[in-house]
Amino acid sequence: MTDLTHLDEAGRARMVDVGAKPVTARRAVAAGEVRMNPATLARIVTGDVPKGDVLAVARVAGIMAAKKTGDLIPLCHPLGIDGVTVDLEPDGDDVLRITATATVTGRTGVEMEALTAVSVAALTVYDMCKAVDKDMTIGAIRLEEKSGGRSGDYKRGA
């Protein structure tokens, strides 16, 4: 019926059986951003937010989220992730850019883990700063690149 792997022949949702796939090294990089008032970003950078160190807490939240992706996304395989990094850096005076890299040696990719890390890190920034800036927007969450697996390598814009 379709070439979508999470649907069976009748169009019903299913978890893909990856048991026969080879174990390979896989890596995914995702990115996103939180747009905010320049004064809010300045407070984040200087550590002047009432709830604490926004960058440190968001980084840990992203890492924790990546490890729980299989519990959050239906039909997503739980993975024993080899590594996750979450970087948060100002981009101009009103954007906090978030980049997450996830790696695994396994039978399925880590794209969802990297995307989840970015998403939860961004939500954590919002939560920690909403008292000073309710106009923040979270967006541009996307896969930047991935390697490993049957579908091969991917790089946005390449």
Q: Which amino acid is at 114?
A: A
Cα–Cα distance measured from residue 124 to residue 54, given in angstroms and rounded to the nearest whole number: 8
The one catalytic residue among 3, 87, 127, 135: 127
Active site residue 127: yes
Instruction: Please report which helix (H) or strand (E) contains residue 30, including its range.
Output: strand 24-35
Q: Residue 20 is encoded by which pair of tokens?
A: 């026969």
Q: Report helix angle 111-129 to 54-67, nearest 10.
A: 150
Active site residues: 127
